[in-house]
């Protein structure tokens, strides 16, 4: 099975970005962990990051018929992007929302996810483990 991991804005800065909230692991290190686990689970993954909302929309649209599941850390776009929500709803590829930090334990503007209603579920607050839990969910749920 093929799983597409998408990462939104500022996640390229992981490692040095607000480490007290997001930890010290870089996105490349998280990707390496996901790849290692994916091999064990027999899943094929594609792992991407963009700071651009439109690029993320394009990737979601292109996932149709190519990927069985999308795992997305939409970062700040989680809380603002109707375009991402519509793309997820429009392509119909089962999508899992993830976050490193527990968005519900943070500022009120992070409590609202515009994409949550069109996702299969949300994994939030487990640091890099959120990515691995989503991978497990993706493989088990299909
Ligand atoms: C985040 C949480 C978002 O609120 C924030 O804008 C991010 C990262 C997380 O992984 O904890 O950029 O998605």
Choose the residue to mutate in 12, 99, 109 for probing ligand 1, maximizing ligand atoms within 8 Å of C-beta: 99
- Our answer on whether the CB atom of 110 is closer than 6 Å to any ligand 1 atom is yes
- Per residue in 80-129, pLDDT (tens digit) is 999 999 999 999 999 999 999 999 999 999 999 999 999 999 999 999 99
Q: Which CA distances in Å does 89 have to 26, 38, 82, 94, 120?
A: 30, 26, 10, 9, 11
- In the reported structure, the alpha carbon of residue 95 is separated from the centroid of ligand 1 by a whole-number distance in angstroms of 17
Closest ligand 1 atom, CA of 130?
A: 10
Residue 78 near residue 117 (C-beta atoms within 8 A): no
Name the closest-CA residue to atom 7, ligand 1. Answer: 75
Domain 2-140 is found in CATH 3.40.50.9100: yes
List the beta strands (DSSP E) in 10-119: 44-49, 69-73, 95-99
Whether 99 is catalytic: yes
111 is catalytic: no
* Cα 131 to Cα 96: distance, rounded to the nearest angstrom: 10
pTM of the complete model beyond 0.75: yes
Q: Which residues contact 59 (CB under 8 A, 6 or more apart)?
A: 4, 6, 48, 50
Note the pLDDT tens digit of each residue in 38-61. 999 999 999 999 999 999 999 999
What would the pLDDT profile of 60-90 be if each residue is shown by its tens digit?
A: 999 999 999 999 999 999 999 999 999 999 9
Nearest in space to 47 (alpha carbons), one of 38, 105, 124, 16: 38
Question: What confidence category does residue 141 fall into, taking pLDDT thresholds of 50, 70 and 90?
Answer: confident
Cα–Cα nearest to 51, from 23, 25, 17:
17
């Amino acid at each position: 099975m093929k799983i597409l991991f998408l990462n939104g804005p500022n996640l390229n800065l992981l490692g040095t970005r607000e480490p007290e909230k997001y930890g010290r692991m870089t996105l490349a290190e998280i990707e390496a962990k996901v790849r290692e686990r994916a091999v064990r689970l027999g899943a094929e993954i594609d792992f991407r990051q963009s700071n651009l909302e439109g690029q993320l929309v394009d990737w979601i649209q292109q996932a149709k018929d190519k990927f069985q599941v999308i795992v997305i850390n939409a970062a700040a776009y989680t809380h603002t992007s109707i375009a991402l929500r519509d793309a997820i709803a429009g392509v119909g590829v089962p999508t899992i929302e993830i976050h490193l930090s527990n968005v519900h334990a943070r500022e009120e503007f992070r409590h609202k996810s515009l994409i949550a209603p069109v996702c299969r579920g949300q994994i939030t607050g487990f640091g890099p483990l959120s990515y691995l839990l989503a991978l497990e969910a993706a493989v088990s749920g299909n």
